Structure 1
Amino acid sequence: MLERLELEAFLTLAEQLHFGRTAERLHVTTSRISQTIRKLERRIGAPLFERNSRTVTLTPLGRQLRDELRPAYDQISASITAASRGNSVERTITLGFSGAWSGNLLVRATELFRIRYPHTAVDIEEIQLTDPLGRMRSGAVDLQLTEFPIAEPDITTGAIMFAEPRGLLVPQGHSFATRESVALEDLADTTLVTLNDALIPRYWMDHHFPRRTPSGRPIPQGPATTFWPEVLVHVSQGIGVSTVALRAEQFHARPGIVFVPFHDAPTIDYGLMWPSAGRNPLVPPFLEVIAEAAQHE
Structure 2
Amino acid sequence: METRELRYFVAVAEELHFGRAAQRLGMAQPPLSRAIQRLERRLGVTLFDRTNRTIALTEAGTVLLREGRAALDAVAAAERRTRRAVPGRPGLVLVTKAGATGELLSKLLDAYAAEPGAATVDVLLCQPGEQERLLRDGRADVALLHRPFDSTTGLEAEELYTEGQAAVLPAAHPLTDRPHLRTADVAALPGLPLPRWPGPGGTYPPGPGPEVRDHAQLLQLIALGRASAILPDSCRSHLDPGLAAVPVLDAAPVTTVIAWPPHSRSLPLAALIRIALRLGSEHGSAALVRGG
TM-score by length of 1: 0.55
The CA RMSD measured in Å over matched residues stands at: 3.2
- Tell me which amino acid in the other structure corresponds to 1:236: A
1:187-206 alignment runs, 5 A limit? 187-190=186-189, 191-198=193-200
Distance in 2 separating the partners of 1:230 and 1:163: 25
1:296 aligns with 2:288: no
Question: Bigger CA drift: 112-121 or 184-193?
Answer: 112-121
Q: How many residues align?
A: 195
* Structure 2: gaps spanning 5 or more residues: 1-81, 284-292
Distance in 2 separating the partners of 1:104 and 1:171: 23
> Match of 2:120?
121
Q: Find the residue that maps to 1:162 and give its secondary structure.
A: strand
1:247-286 alignment runs, 5 A limit? 247-255=234-242, 257-276=243-262, 280=266, 282-286=268-272
Distance in 1 separating the partners of 2:100 and 2:194: 23
Distance in 1 separating the partners of 2:215 and 2:162: 20
> Match of 1:170?
169
* Structure 1: gaps spanning 5 or more residues: 1-80, 206-210, 212-219
Residues 157-194 of structure 1 deviation map (CA, whole Å, 9 limit, x = unaligned): 41221122210012244342222210122234122123
Residues 236-257 of structure 1 deviation map (CA, whole Å, 9 limit, x = unaligned): 22222111123212212232x3
Conserved 8 A contact 1:142-1:279: no
Distance in 1 separating the partners of 2:102 and 2:250: 27
Distance in 1 separating the partners of 2:188 and 2:96: 32
Distance in 1 separating the partners of 2:101 and 2:187: 30
Conserved 8 A contact 1:93-1:280: no
Task: Please report how far the alpha carbon of residue 147 of structure 1 lies from its aligned counterpart in structure 2 after TM superposition.
Answer: 1.4
Conserved 8 A contact 2:98-2:215: no
> Match of 1:14?
none
Conserved 8 A contact 1:163-1:269: yes
Conserved 8 A contact 2:171-2:241: no
Conserved 8 A contact 1:234-1:240: yes
1:207-226 alignment runs, 5 A limit? 221-226=208-213
1:104 aligns with 2:103: yes
- Tell me which amino acid in the other structure corresponds to 1:110: L
Q: Find the residue that maps to 1:296 and give its secondary structure.
A: helix
Change (3 A) 1:294 1:252: same
1:241 aligns with 2:228: yes
Distance in 2 separating the partners of 1:259 and 1:288: 32
Task: Please report how far the alpha carbon of residue 117 of structure 1 lies from its aligned counterpart in structure 2 after TM superposition.
Answer: 4.3
Distance in 2 separating the partners of 1:111 and 1:223: 36
1:230 aligns with 2:221: no
Q: Find the residue that maps to 1:124 and give its secondary structure.
A: strand
Distance in 2 separating the partners of 1:86 and 1:246: 42
Distance in 1 separating the partners of 2:135 and 2:178: 40
Distance in 2 separating the partners of 1:240 and 1:107: 29
Change (3 A) 1:234 1:242: same
Conserved 8 A contact 2:169-2:222: yes
Change (3 A) 1:250 1:119: closer
- Tell me which amino acid in the other structure corresponds to 2:151: A
Distance in 2 separating the partners of 1:109 and 1:188: 35
Conserved 8 A contact 1:95-1:144: yes
Distance in 2 separating the partners of 1:102 and 1:152: 17
Distance in 2 separating the partners of 1:283 and 1:246: 28
Task: Please report how far the alpha carbon of residue 294 of structure 1 lies from its aligned counterpart in structure 2 after TM superposition.
Answer: 2.4
- Tell me which amino acid in the other structure corresponds to 1:271: V
Distance in 2 separating the partners of 1:228 and 1:96: 16
